[in-house]
Structure 1
Amino acid sequence: MTALTLLHADDDLLAIDKPAGLAVHRSRLVGADDDYLMDRLRLQAEGPLHAVHRLDRATSGVLLVARHAAAAADLGRQLMARSVGKAYLAVVRGWPAEHGEIDYPLSGSSLAGEAKPALTRWRRLATVEVPIAHGRYPQQRYSLLEVAPETGRYRQIRRHFHHISHHLLGDTSHGRGDHNRLIRQHYGVHRLLLHAWRLEVRHPATGEPLRLEAPLDAAWQRLLGAFGWEAALAGHAQCARQEVAAP
């Protein structure tokens, strides 16, 4: 069982670099014999562990785990107050506007019942047009987005971009199978291109800002290189760091 990469560790909380394809904990949606992040983490960290929030099994990136009940309660309050800063990276079909938001209610994990308010904002970081014929088009258009979900509904980002027909690449539940096959065949990418890139919270013990960032895996790096997006992402990341460091 592969050890998890810890982005931060202290007596109050852990931040894990969650790999794609790994469920956070046991649920009715995954098999009883599957591998789970919380099971792996218990082999690395002693004492109680409380998962503070969730990432979809197919999504990678920063995941917070509290080390005691008081820390879990404090972080939970921050999430409920929507004071936690979240930034995801996503690759979508087409070229959406440079900035935008999706304000569209979503139901729960059963995809039934009452829909609740859900809001997602995005910023477009880069675009590409690749010379691969498909359907009616001789070329295909894709975009790299920074996405900020203001609420935390089930599969919110994936479902919201499906709603506006800018499906996430690699999304086998809400995406486009033809474009998923295209990136598998031409770029060797077999995962959902959604990554919880950055997370900013107030430390539950000190109240100081804690800024966490998870690196991109090999599949992401391969696609960034193929699409020529490395410089655009690096430049955006540098600007974001300067904004944080400014007094």
Structure 2
Amino acid sequence: MMVLYQDEHLIAVNKPAGWLVHRSWLDRHETQFVMQTVRDQIGQHVFTVHRLDRPTSGVLLMALSSDVARLLSQQFERHEVQKTYHAVVRGYVLERGTIDYALAEELDKLADKHADPDKGPKPAVSHYRPLATVEMPVAIGRYATSRYSLLELKPETGRKHQLRRHMVHIRHPIIGDTAHGDLRQNRGMAQHFACPRLMLHASHLQLQHPVTGEQLHISAPWDATWQGLMSQFGWLGVIPELAGVEFPMANPQDN
């Protein structure tokens, strides 16, 4: 597990796509869990303070004591932690925008069987900014070519699957989203570009250290799947610090 930041109070790791954060009775056959792996790696107990969906990769922050976990959780609850994601979506997104679209709570049939299914939608706000577009000579669906965009996403709120549901709302689903996205595009991406997973990455966290008060900026580099797709699409240099390269993109879009 790649450690991105560690001190005596907290630790941040680059969560791999497909890993659960912690053991769950809903996934009794799983063997890979971030919390247990990090605990074994550093030799001490860790406490979760926020979550990343199983298929999402990127920065995951954990506390090394219950007191620090409480302080960090409060920062997340007060929306004082700035979260930046990157995603590959279907179609061309040419202008930045804000999605202010309330979301009803998504309930799991087993885990949430006692929850109230009639709760109304809760406010949800996400900001997006296009970074690059590409048109590939591959027919997926009724068109002879396929278009994709690389987006920077910044959620203000933290509803379940918020970014995935918001991008579907504006008809630019995130590639690889099996719950809300475009199944045909997902299959085509796996077949033609060797990309069979959700293309959503938690790239940056910015927060105030709960003990020292210093500003922390934690970034998670892209994994091999991301790097491979960025290379195929000619986007590898759009965000050099995530790709581990030193050259800038020749003409990145900066809308």
**Which residue matches 2:35?**
38
Per-residue CA shift, 1:39-82, capped at 9, x if unaligned?
A: 21221233332101000000000000001122112111211221
Q: 1:8 aligns with which of 1, 5, 12?
A: 5
Contact 1:125-1:236 within 8 A present in 2 as well:
no
How far has the Cα of 1:83 moved from its partner? 1.5
Counterpart amino acid of 2:157? Answer: T
**Which residue matches 1:208?**
214
Per-residue CA shift, 1:62-111, capped at 9, x if unaligned?
A: 00000112211211121122111111010000112420111111122407
**Which residue matches 1:181?**
187
**Which residue matches 1:82?**
79
**Which residue matches 2:236?**
230
Question: C-alpha distance in 2, partners of 1:21/1:186?
Answer: 21
Matches within 5 A, 1:133-172: 133-172=139-178
Question: C-alpha distance in 1, partners of 2:152/2:91?
Answer: 15
Question: C-alpha distance in 2, partners of 1:68/1:155?
Answer: 28
Secondary structure of the 1:230 match is coil
**Which residue matches 1:245?**
none
How far has the Cα of 1:192 moved from its partner? 0.5
Unaligned runs of 5+ residues in structure 1 are: 239-247
Per-residue CA shift, 1:182-235, capped at 9, x if unaligned?
A: 111111111100000011111111000011000101110111011111222239
Q: TM-score, normalised by structure 1?
A: 0.89
Over the aligned positions, Cα root-mean-square deviation in angstroms equals 1.8
Question: C-alpha distance in 2, partners of 1:49/1:199?
Answer: 18
Matches within 5 A, 1:18-97: 18-27=15-24, 30-34=26-30, 35-97=32-94
Question: C-alpha distance in 2, partners of 1:108/1:70?
Answer: 29
Counterpart amino acid of 1:10? Answer: D
Unaligned runs of 5+ residues in structure 2 are: 109-116, 247-255
**Which residue matches 2:125?**
119
Question: C-alpha distance in 2, partners of 1:132/1:95?
Answer: 15
**Which residue matches 1:244?**
none
Counterpart amino acid of 1:107? Answer: A
- Identity score, percent: 47
Question: C-alpha distance in 1, partners of 2:242/2:127?
Answer: 17
**Which residue matches 2:227?**
221
2:200 aligned with 1:194: yes
